[in-house]
Amino acid sequence: MSFRLHLLVPLAALCACSASHQGGAGARTVVRFATDWRAQAEHGGFYEALAEGLYAKRGLDVRIIPGGPSVNVPELVASGAVELGDGSNSFIVMNLANEHAPVKAVAAFMQKDPQVLLAHPGVGIGSLADMKGHPILLSDASKTAFWPWLKTRYGFSDSQVRSYTFNNAPFIVNPKAVQEGYLTSEPYTIEKDAKFKPVVFLLADQGYPSYAAMVLAPDSLIAKNPAAVRAFVEASALGWRDYLSGDPRPADTLILKDNPDMTEDVLAQARDKMRTFGLVEGGDASTLGVGAMTDKHWADFFRIASPDSLTNYKAAFTLQFLPNPPVK
């Protein structure tokens, strides 16, 4: 998976989701949570919390709404079509703040954005700087997200950009091409399909300071029912811990149900990548707990990504729902 944010999903599609089946949910608060793509390991902690009944235990009736190429999660959250949403990266949240939209990040379940650039082995690309002049396959959303950062940092040109439509074939057949991807997805599927291991550059390890897997909440819900937001964040933190360090099968069962195209081997290797690279439990999460965000991290992101809008950065997030790591 790569960064995905496109058009608004039809509201009728919101009925197609995983929901809590623990019964007697009449007294629970319904929370529709829209993800940024089809069900996958990158949503595993949320599915684990659902499957284990961690949301239900805290008075929530959570329904996970899988995303896709036609989903605009921030618009769904801002319009009230869903109560909470999954924020793919910090650019989404920064843009919301700059547009004065009534939506904030309340937790970040990936301390590192899994966004990568991929190159062919043996073609002389040993760093991001070596990609200058090579065709780079990017999705439409990425052209307005991390691409401006890459251009500024490495002197890349828009003439290098080619369209990425989530089909690996154009990259596979062109040794000079570079392609975006997710650390937890495309490197494995390309190696599996094309029988070569692409060279992987994790942007987070190159100074790209974006969070990922954020929970987005509307200001209205934060004001009217902060207990529900806190309960969701707390249960999700436990779900992520259990998905990576416990038994992932409950979550995987729901993921495979919501996304029949997913496979167990892809889920397993994605979990391994999340653990190995500290995507969820590294960074500030190692001391502050899973889901952590900090004022400094957000200020640093705005300073790098959009210095002119630094004065808006505090409108992008709230730390009020991030207590000490909860006890199950």
pLDDT value, residue 166: 92
Q: What is the dihedral of CA 83, 219, 52, 68, to 10 degrees?
A: 50
Q: What is the pTM of this model?
A: 0.90
Residue 126 DSSP symbol: -
**Running along the chain, 328 residues long, what does each successive block of 10 average in pLDDT?**
42 49 65 97 98 98 93 95 97 93 98 97 98 96 91 96 96 98 97 97 94 98 98 98 98 98 97 97 94 96 88 94 63
Q: How far is CA 314 from CA 24, 105, 309, in A?
A: 40, 11, 11
Q: Which of 198, 194, 192 is nearest to 269 (CA)?
A: 192
- Taking alpha carbons only, the member of 236, 278, 302 closest to residue 86 is 236
Predicted local confidence at residue 11, as pLDDT? 43
Q: What are the φ and ψ backbone dihedral angles of 150, each rounded to 5 degrees?
A: -65, -40
Please give the biggest Cα pair distance in the chain. Answer: 61
Dist CA 265 CA 279 (whole Å) = 19
Q: What angle do CA 149, 152, 154 make, to 5 degrees?
A: 100
Could you write out the DSSP letters of every residue in 151-199?
HHHH---GGGEEE--S--HHHHT-TT-EEEEETTSHHHHHHHHHSS--E
> Which of 157, 177, 176 lies closest to 167 in space, CA to CA?
177
CA-angle at 224, arms to 14 and 213, nearest 5°: 50
CA-based angle 274:85:35, to the nearest 5? Answer: 55
